[in-house]
Amino acid sequence: MKTVSLLWQSNVGLMFLLNDESKRETPAVVCFGEKQRFLGSAGASSAMMHPKTTISQIKRLIGRKFADPDVEKELKMLPVETSEGSDGGILIHLKYLEETHTFTPVQIMSMLFAHLKTMTEKDLETPISDCVIGVHHTLLTCRDGHILMQQKLLG
C-alpha cells in the first residue's frame, strides 16, 4: 500500500508530522462508507468492511488515459467500476450516500490531500497556505498539470 508523509519546515529544519495514529506515514486510501468517507489510516482500517468502495494507489492513474493498455490492466484490479471520460481520462464510479457518484483520480487524491491539510492545520494550530508535493521522478511530464489541479482543489 502506498503512503504519504508530511514534513514541516521549522527554524531547526524539517520535521515529520504525525498522523492521527501518531505515525509518520499515512496510507493513500479513500474508503466510501454508507454515510461517510474514511481517509488515510481510517480508510485503510475500513477497507475490509467496504472492499467495493475502497480506492488505493490512485496516484498511478493520475493523468493517464483510459485506453492505455497498462492502465487497462490496473483498472481491472480496482474493486470499482470505471469508464472513459470525455477527455479520454479515467472516471471512477461508486456508490456513496445511496447514490452512484463519479470521480476522477485527481478528485480522489484531492480528498486525501484535503484530509492531510486539515490534520496538519490541527497539529500545527495554524492555517496552511503553501505546500510542496513530492513526486517520484518516474512520473511523466504530462501528469504534472494534474498534480497542479489537485493543489487548486485544495485551495
Say if residues 63 and 145 touch (Cβ distance below 8 Å). yes
Mean pLDDT, rounded, for 96-104: 92
pLDDT for 75? 92
pLDDT at 146 over 70: no
pLDDT 10s digits, 10-36:
667 777 777 777 777 888 899 999 889
56 vs 2, which has greater pLDDT? Answer: 56
Q: Which residues pair with 95 in a beta bridge?
A: 100
Shortest CA distance to 40 belongs to which of 26, 53, 52, 50? 26
- pLDDT tens readout for residues 43-57: 999 999 999 999 988
Give yes or no for residue 112 having a pLDDT over 60: yes
- Quick one: cell of 1? 500500500
Burial of 64 from C-beta contacts in 10 A (0-12 / 13-18 / 19+):
buried
Q: Mark residue 47 as left, alpha or beta (left: phi above 0; alpha: psi -120 to 50; beta: remaining).
A: alpha
pLDDT at 150 over 60: no
List the single range of 8-12, 63-67, 82-86, 99-103 with lowest mean pLDDT.
8-12
Closest to 108 (Cα-Cα) out of 45, 44, 152, 59 = 59
Of residues 142 and 102, more confidence is placed in: 102
